[in-house]
Amino acid sequence: MKNKRKFVIADIHGAYKALMQCFDQADFDYQNDILICLGDVCDGWPEIDKVFDELLKLKKLIYILGNHDFWALSWAETGSKPDIWLTQGGQATIDCYSNGMPESHIEILKTAYDYYIDENRMFVHGGFYNDQELKDHDKETFLWDRSLFQAAMFNMSINREVKLTRFDEVYIGHSPTEIYNIKLPIKSCGIWMIDTGAGWSGLLSLMNIDTKEYYISDSVPNLYPDHRGRF
């Protein structure tokens, strides 16, 4: 039996083909390996349902809610379709689930964590404020905040390494590294930025949390040449 490994992934945005490339490269063990998903399976590329179906096969999935997941769950439960969601990839979710989102997929989103802590490592979709207790945050902060990303990238730009949080490591999605023309996971000031732009024109990255080895897909637009994704 293989040793249990812990992986983290973020912002798949319906790119099932990219997910399978990463799983294949890592020889991912569905029975024993742990996957922490930092959210946003929804919206963008056309195979959102296949991604969720694949995640449901995992015995050890930890799912953290993303802002796009929040929008998609609201639509699945109430029919709400705000314009900002539709223009940011939401139409792909609606098209994918033309007969409605199945209960098993809804349940993943309804039971998702706002954040997850493991061995003093923090996992969250967007971010948080280090000067506030986590219990004092609202859900919107965990879904949307980019202050940690911005601080980490600023300090990296001036070659300064400082401790930004009380955690040994923080893993975030939501903010694509490709903004800085980098399509790989980045670490700065204890912050690991895992969103490598799969929702846009970048790649999907799967990283072994303990060894820091990562596995990357092909360019996602090249995997779906007949789709515009979130553009």
pTM: 0.97
Q: Is residue 21 part of a domain?
A: yes
Residue 11 lies in a domain: yes
Q: What three-state secondary structure class fits 129?
A: coil
- CB count within 10 Å of CB 149 equals 23
In a domain, 226, yes or no: no
pLDDT of residue 2: 62
Contacts of 29 (CB under 8 A, 6+ apart): 2, 5
Distance CA 5, CA 120 (A): 17
- For 190-205, the pLDDT digits (tens) are 999 999 999 999 999 9
Report the CATH number at residue 206.
3.60.21.10
The parent domain of residue 165 ranges over: 6-220
User: b or e along 55-83 (b: 16 or more beta carbons within 10 Å of the residue's beta carbon)?
Assistant: beebeeebbbbbbbbbbbbebbeeeeeee
On whether residue 140 sits in a domain, the answer given is yes
At 129-187, the pLDDT tens digits run 999 999 999 999 999 999 999 999 999 999 999 999 999 999 999 999 999 999 899 99
Instruction: Count how many domains the chain has.
Output: 1
Q: What is the pLDDT of residue 229?
A: 87
Residue 147 lies in a domain: yes
